[in-house]
Amino acid sequence: MDESTQNTTVAGRLAALIMIGCGFLAIGISFMLLRGTGETAYASDQDFSAVPAQVNYPAPELNLTTLYGEPVSLTDYKGSVLLVNLWATWCPPCREEMPTLQAFYEKYKNEGFVLIAIDQGETPEMVVPFVKELGLTFPVWLDMPSEAGRVFGTMNLPSSYVIDREGQIRLMWIGGISKKNLEKYVPKIIKEK
């Protein structure tokens, strides 16, 4: 190998090592920043959660069942403001946001606000213990075939949609919801008559 080829090979290896080192450094800094906050990047009192997209389109028709097999429909709640939350028990950010959702529901339920949590793809035997463990009092529906994900056009969990009293979807969250973002965006819609 001549000297110029050897220099090119060494320079190439050095550049590759520098790039790999920079990648590890970026990962390490990101990890330290997340750990340093003491919070997760999901639903928390800090503003790390997803910010909703403001949208305006009709809510889909959706007919499912409650935890106990009774038929239910989104149209049963016409005239109320709904927050429809698609979730599953195995989903960490779903679990993380449930206490925040429960507290928000308790605060606004007497103002025509309903939170409907639609479990995606799980059986009552999987969901009922979870609901009891967290003391959830809002309606929980089952969706074994994940129909809600199809009609709302998402495969992401958690995903949430705020439907106004006229049946229009006004807010759409993909990802965990924080108390701060719930309080910032949803009460305005609840107060509309």
Gap between the Cα atoms of 83 and 136, Å rounded:
15
pLDDT in tens, 94-114: 999 999 999 999 999 999 999
Is the pLDDT higher at 20 or at 57?
57
Closest CA to 85 of 186, 176, 167, 158: 158
Does 11 score more than 90 pLDDT?
Answer: no
Residue 31: which pLDDT band, with cuts at 50, 70 and 90? Answer: very low
Asked if pLDDT for residue 118 goes beyond 60, the answer is yes
Check whether 154 has a pLDDT greater than 50. yes
160 near 26, Cβ under 8 Å? no
The two three-digit tokens of residue 41, written as one number: 């990047």
For 62-78, the pLDDT digits (tens) are 999 999 999 999 999 99
Beta bridge partners, 189, equal none
Local confidence band at 50 (pLDDT 50, 70, 90 cut-offs) = confident
What's the pLDDT at 81? 98
Bond prior to 158 in cis (omega within 30° of 0): yes
CATH for 53-191 is 3.40.30.10
Closest of 127, 133, 113 to residue 189, by C-alpha: 113
pLDDT above 90 covers a percentage of the chain that reads: 73
Strand order in the sheet with 63-66: 53-58, 168-174, 159-163, 81-87, 113-120, 140-143, 63-66, 71-73
Asked if pLDDT for residue 18 goes beyond 90, the answer is no
Q: Above 70 in pLDDT, residue 141?
A: yes
Between 76 and 43, residue with greater pLDDT: 76
